[in-house]
Amino acid sequence: MTKPISCFLMIFGLATAVSAQHGKQIVVATKSTTLIFTVSTDQKLYQSYLGQKLTNPADQDLLTASRKGAYIAAGMEDLFEPAIRMVHADGNPSLDLRYVTHNQHQDDENVTTTNIMLQDPKYPVEVVLHFTTYNQENVIKEWTEVRHHEKKPVTLTNYASSMLHFEASKYWLSQFDGDYMTEMRMKESQLTPGIKILDSKLGTRAQMYRSPSFYLSLNKPSDENSGELIAGTLAWSGNFQCSFEIDQQNSLRMITGMNPYASEYKLLPGKTFETPAFIFTYTKSGKGDATRNLHRWARNYGVLDGNKPRLTLLNNWEATHMDFNQDVLVELFDGANKLGVDLFLLDDGWFGNKYPRDADKTALGDWQADRKKLPGGIGYLVNAANKKHLQFGIWLEPEMVSPKSELYEKHPDWILKLPNREESYSRNQLVLDLINPKVQDFIYDMVNELLIKNPGIAFIKWDCNRMLTNSYSPFLKDNQGNLFIDYNRSLFDILRRLREKHPHLPIMLCAGGGGRVDYGGLKYFTEFWPSDNTDALERVFIQWGYLNFFPSLTVSSHVTSMGKQSLKFRTDVAMMGKMGYDIRVKNLTPEEIKFSNQAVKTYKRISEVIWFGDLYRLVSPYEENRAVLMYASPDKSSAVLFNYLLNFRRKEYMGKVLLQGLDPMKRYQIREINLLPDTKSTQAEDGKTYSGDYLMTVGLNLSAGKIAPLTSAVFELIAEK
């Protein structure tokens, strides 16, 4: 079985790699974090350090003593959860990974990639560990590749993106879970010996119950400004598993990656199995610092066009559902004009002729405009919108098919469903077998042609309203273990092809609310829909949850009629993210329209700070009956502060709020903005000027004056020149 190593080096193109000395250290570092691996004399790879960068590099030599196996394989000596498990073509269920070589290259002055190659001395199997460091953002991205040259396929039953070890006295995990309409509820608990797993088996729309994003705090729970922790997030829209195992010596082994559940993956000889990336930041300065690191990274590297402005929009879903026609829509355009938004987004219900999409039982897959509802087709609507100086966007759910559709009738073999079983519907629909290249082409062509035929389409909302159940891929035949993984790889592949053709079209990632929010998907999307729950009180929590890991310009936050709060409160809540509307403008009073139009103008003026500034969470709604957060511009010349009073009780004590992210030496004038028309601020701080030092040391009494539950205020802080 053994092949000479030099052969592998040539096959895998690493011939020029720096060859390591025995005992040599491999250092993966950002400006403030270091991850060190050590190669032992028997060429095993160990993680010897993950933590704050040491001031004196010579001290790194002392770290070799602490040795935890890096990327441990199952089947040999180790008795805890493995990073990888492989059953070879001859049935041998073990893998012995030894260091062969590594290289490091600087992609640019900020980004460096380290590749460490491991190999089994007896079987022609190679595993490459990749680490990309983003120096300024203090973020590390880690992923793994596996390949082999055995005569027949091998079976992979575990395939972590990352395995990292921690040594602390205690560990706390902050997780984010929920359901449809209750996404991203934050919970923190202390880990105990044994395994805690955050996972998903939903296939697609996989983060509906649980997010693959978390904080892991070491020694003591972290707060916003203090505490040692890592914030981690897996870039994968499919089944995931993040496991945290504390062993008998109180060490924590953290393994993140795709969920091995029902996914024994057959890997063909010569093919590369690439895991999704695990992205993390390590800090000793609390969750706020971790969030800001991830936000900066996301805007620069993680999200499509993360440094570019976003469009404000009016969506028609909550206003009309599928009950509309051409005239109704054109009338809604007037509403969009009254609000002053950039774009009108046409939601579900515009397609299907043999089986028109009048309810959610029909037409998915038949992506032709409904001739009865829209006699002029999409082209007419695009023109009509453009004439009203509005851009036009459209909803699609490309991965799905309705049992009542022409697509279903024509291609029953294009659908994921179990043989010899009843079809299993969720929202009355089925999922297409994306693994089939013909299906991939169908989806690609459908989206591409829609955009080519209607070059005026300026925005897409890409929805996904069910998970994978009772799944079987007719295309995969005997390799059903590959289904969950290949489905999502195929999805990303379609998106990649579309992006090659339409690199900058804004696309919203939606999955029946926030069912799919991760950096694997967000590479191809400009924003996401956090939840179908648009009640502004609920949204304070939901948006707060997402903002831990995703920057504000990705968090679509719409003003709707759901919830009983004032329009002012609903608008202020939408402003903390990427503001939009989903409301019947016709039902608003002239006063409300005036306020909303002014609010859109205000938002456009301050959105630079909200989208590209640094987020500081000042008072958590999980700790008090209010939520206070602010964004400060990177040059500290301006800031926007949001104060939301929730369901508090009479005489509830609310302390002063210490601001953050300001220049202590600068003086800032505070103005309340987004006021109701023809009203003056009742906030005591309106119009006052303080030094940044005062604001950050003494703070503001935001609860002075007339206050009531479910009211809010937005303040702008401008530094004096």
The binding site for ligand DGJ (CB under 6 A) comprises 317, 347-348, 395, 463, 465, 510, 512-513, 529, 532
Alpha-carbon Rg for the chain, nearest whole angstrom, is 27
* Nearest-approach distance from CB 512 to ligand DGJ, in angstroms: 5
Nearer to ligand DGJ, 314 or 662 (CB): 314
The identity of residue 131, as a single letter, is: F
The two structure tokens encoding residue 296: 């900066």
* Nearest-approach distance from CB 159 to ligand DGJ, in angstroms: 31
Distance CA 474, CA 421 (A): 14
Nearer to ligand DGJ, 158 or 560 (CB): 560
* Nearest-approach distance from CB 347 to ligand DGJ, in angstroms: 5
Which residue is closest to ligand DGJ by CB?
348
Nearer to ligand DGJ, 289 or 527 (CB): 527
Quickly list H helices, 263-400: 286-297, 317-320, 326-339, 377-387
Q: Are 658 and 669 in contact (CB under 8 A)?
A: no
Nearer to ligand DGJ, 463 or 486 (CB): 463
Nearer to ligand DGJ, 348 or 370 (CB): 348
* Nearest-approach distance from CB 582 to ligand DGJ, in angstroms: 8
* Nearest-approach distance from CB 527 to ligand DGJ, in angstroms: 13
* Nearest-approach distance from CB 516 to ligand DGJ, in angstroms: 11
Cβ density class 442-480: b for 16+ within 10 Å, e for less: bbbebbeebbeebeebbbbbbbbbbbbeebbbebbeebb
Nearer to ligand DGJ, 319 or 670 (CB): 319
Nearer to ligand DGJ, 285 or 469 (CB): 469
Distance CA 554, CA 611 (A): 9
Quickly list H helices, 102-254: none
Among 492, 409, 577, 618, CA closest to 238: 492
Q: Where are the beta strands (DSSP E) in 259-413?
A: 265-267, 273-274, 278-283, 313-315, 343-346, 391-396, 400-401
Nearer to ligand DGJ, 243 or 315 (CB): 315
* Nearest-approach distance from CB 359 to ligand DGJ, in angstroms: 10
* Nearest-approach distance from CB 202 to ligand DGJ, in angstroms: 15
Distance CA 291, CA 629 (A): 13
Residue 20: partners with Cβ closer than 8 Å, 6 or more residues away: 26, 39, 99, 101, 102
Dihedral sign from CA coordinates of 334, 337, 341, 344 = positive
Distance CA 105, CA 297 (A): 19
Nearer to ligand DGJ, 114 or 543 (CB): 543
Distance CA 98, CA 121 (A): 7
Quickly list H helices, 399-473: 406-410, 437-453
Q: Are 534 and 563 in contact (CB under 8 A)?
A: yes
* Nearest-approach distance from CB 94 to ligand DGJ, in angstroms: 46
Nearer to ligand DGJ, 11 or 181 (CB): 181
* Nearest-approach distance from CB 506 to ligand DGJ, in angstroms: 16
